[in-house]
Chain A
């Protein structure tokens, strides 16, 4: 009875907006107390985050991401993508998708893409004759596109929480990520048939110019992916090299940023973002320990196996559950809370944990766009001063296309696993 009373209060406080780390932390303390175990164990478990070597990659990549976001890199990237694809049907829209995806994989899907790049791209799309409806929908969905590409923070966090190799996750995300962009690009090209848009001619001169302008940023993917899969770096070492390289490139080679003026803000904002995520992870270590101790994942597994008998049905149920989770919870909390419960269940249905990670993140990516409370809808509504109901309407086609991609990603595991096996 007392247990129910406390559980009720905590749930009410969560709905009311209590920071999640506090809700998770106190739940762990109360659960241990109720089973007669000293809750100091919650802190012992919390301290385990200092023994997870891959976690170091999170502050390092965040630092690099914040520097890139504050510099003129997005503009250079946009120009380069434009000279590469601006001539194609739906070219500018495709350019937007690619730029947003690349930007998101560096900054995490915290809404920065819509605020920073969306504001840059929206007027360009309108200038090129794209409808307002299409442009708004495109930018809203692009806000979380790119989560599957290295070195996105959710990808690393999934690896840490599920104890899955981050190197493998980085590879597994490539094809599904490209598939999502491809499907949306085809939709953008179709716009061209409905209402012809303004296209520019391909120019080799402009391509050379924009490539030259982005010369210090182009090696970044090579440092990360080439470094890891060329066997030179571990994921954490790649993070260290990227952070250092980006710092030198933007502060000293491009001189877009200045130590005195910008470094304090970037380091502070980066620490704040990392702190906000890691404090939830720290608090959740205790709760996860309790759940495992109380055999909750096993009990859940037995209950689910009683109802669901095939992998096919399990994957449908998993997708529905994750879409709802993605619409309700922020991506980082969703990973921290749900992954420890889901992984053992998925394993029992022979779902590869790397493939599961990609399914998981694709769902959460779509969750950002799912009415009524998908985060991107609110950010777009705020950024472009449009009513939220309009945002619901304009994102429907994009949502449906991404759901189609989700089905392909879920039921064709080789999309995620082919590259992983190739490099093994």
Chain B
């Protein structure tokens, strides 16, 4: 049992570590490149449309990476009227109901995202004139899948802490 729980904590930490790294990379790249764009546009009258397209897609990546980090820390925006009044065993049941529901929903979204990617591959869509769009867009299914596993991971890891 302990081995399983250690494993869960390890998986959660690993995902958190990689996503934090990605978050820092994305955020700093957006700041640097967007500032570079401002300088190029205003002082040298040069406009890099390619960079613009990548930065817009960077926002999509930030959305998913940030959402998974939010899930791992249990800070999603929700209308939490009920959880304020539920305590004890009922709270555990409620947490599990919500976790399983959210995970299942994210799996459904993963399924449709994969279909979207297949469509994009078939249509040979490109970003910035050269990059196959599906490579950048793959953050959508990957993001939803990571969200799907992050919900139970967080709860399992939390229950481990509560046990100890």
Q: Which residue of A lies closest to B120 (CB)?
A: A47
Q: Quick check: is B70 within 8 A (CB to CB) of the other chain?
A: yes
Residues of A within 8 A of B52 (CB): 53
- State the Cβ distance, A193 to closest chain B Cβ, in Å: 40
B positions within 8 Å CB-CB of A: 20, 23-24, 26-28, 30-32, 34-35, 37-38, 41-42, 52, 55-60, 62-71, 73, 75-83, 94, 97-98, 101-102, 105-106, 108-109, 112-113, 115-116, 119, 137, 140
Q: Chain A interface mostly helix, strand, loop or mixed?
A: helix
Known: A20-B79, A275-B62. A50 touches B56 (CB 8 A): yes
Known: A40-B116, A60-B31, A241-B35. A17 touches B79 (CB 8 A): yes
- State the Cβ distance, B115 to closest chain A Cβ, in Å: 5
Inter-chain contact B82/A55, CB cutoff 8 Å: no
A282–B63 CA distance with the chains assembled, in angstroms: 8
Q: Quick check: is A278 within 8 A (CB to CB) of the other chain?
A: yes
Q: Quick check: is A254 within 8 A (CB to CB) of the other chain?
A: no
Q: List 25 A-B contacts (CB under 8 A).
A: A17-B78, A17-B79, A17-B83, A17-B98, A19-B76, A26-B108, A42-B112, A43-B112, A43-B115, A47-B116, A49-B59, A50-B56, A52-B56, A53-B56, A59-B27, A63-B31, A237-B34, A240-B38, A243-B34, A271-B26, A272-B66, A272-B69, A274-B63, A275-B63, A276-B66
Cβ 8 A contact of B106, one of A15, A22, A233: A22
Q: Quick check: is A267 within 8 A (CB to CB) of the other chain?
A: yes
Q: Which residue of B lies closest to A331 (CB)?
A: B77
A392–B52 CA distance with the chains assembled, in angstroms: 47
Per-residue CB proximity of A256-285 to B under 8 Å, as 1/0? 000000011001101111111111111000
Residues of B within 8 A of A17 (CB): 78-83, 94, 98
Inter-chain contact A274/B76, CB cutoff 8 Å: no
Sort A-B residue pairs by CB-CB distance and give the 5 closest, nearest first: A275-B66, A240-B34, A278-B63, A19-B76, A271-B23
Q: Which residue of B lies closest to A32 (CB)?
A: B112
Residues of A within 8 A of B83 (CB): 16-17
Inter-chain contact A20/B116, CB cutoff 8 Å: no
A243–B28 CA distance with the chains assembled, in angstroms: 10
A354–B163 CA distance with the chains assembled, in angstroms: 53
Residues of A within 8 A of B101 (CB): 13, 18, 22
Q: Quick check: is A51 within 8 A (CB to CB) of the other chain?
A: yes
Inter-chain contact A263/B56, CB cutoff 8 Å: no
Known: A19-B76, A239-B34, A268-B69. A46 touches B140 (CB 8 A): yes
Q: Quick check: is A25 within 8 A (CB to CB) of the other chain?
A: yes
Q: Find the residue from B63, B73, B137 having the highest chain A CB count within 10 A.
A: B63
Known: A29-B109, A278-B63. A21 touches B140 (CB 8 A): no
Q: Which residue of B lies closest to A42 (CB)?
A: B112
Q: Which residue of A lies closest to B28 (CB)?
A: A267
- State the Cβ distance, A230 to closest chain B Cβ, in Å: 12
Q: Find the residue from B56, B75, B94 having the highest chain A CB count within 10 A.
A: B56
Residues of A within 8 A of B82 (CB): 15-17
